[in-house]
């Protein structure tokens, strides 16, 4: 499965694809000071609530409107 993360100035949109099929997507508020640990907890929670196993993610695409 493919994990796609689009980090915008206002919202971050997260999607999980199985082939060409969008399995699940979420829109969360972009917080500049979010730590790696906080984001990990957030993603783990979203996956858990949706029945997505992190081990099934084998590709990731990240896009951002601002420099890292």
Domain of 36 in residue numbering reads as: 2-64
pLDDT attached to residue 63:
96
User: How does residue 67 score in pLDDT terms, banded at 50, 70 and 90?
Assistant: low
Rounded CA gap, 22 and 31, in Å?
Answer: 25
CATH at residue 54: 3.30.420.40
Of 53, 67, 65, nearest to 5 (Cα)? 65
Total domains in the fold of the chain: 1
pLDDT attached to residue 13:
98
Give pTM, 2 decimals: 0.87
Mean pLDDT of 39-66: 94
């Amino acid at each position: 499965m493919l994990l796609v993360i689009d980090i915008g100035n206002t919202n971050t949109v997260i999607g999980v694809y199985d082939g060409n099929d969008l399995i699940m997507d979420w829109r969360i508020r972009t917080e500049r000071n979010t730590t790696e640990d906080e984001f990990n907890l957030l993603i783990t929670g979203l996956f858990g609530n949706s029945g997505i196993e992190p081990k099934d993610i084998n590709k990731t695409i990240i896009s951002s409107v601002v420099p890292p």
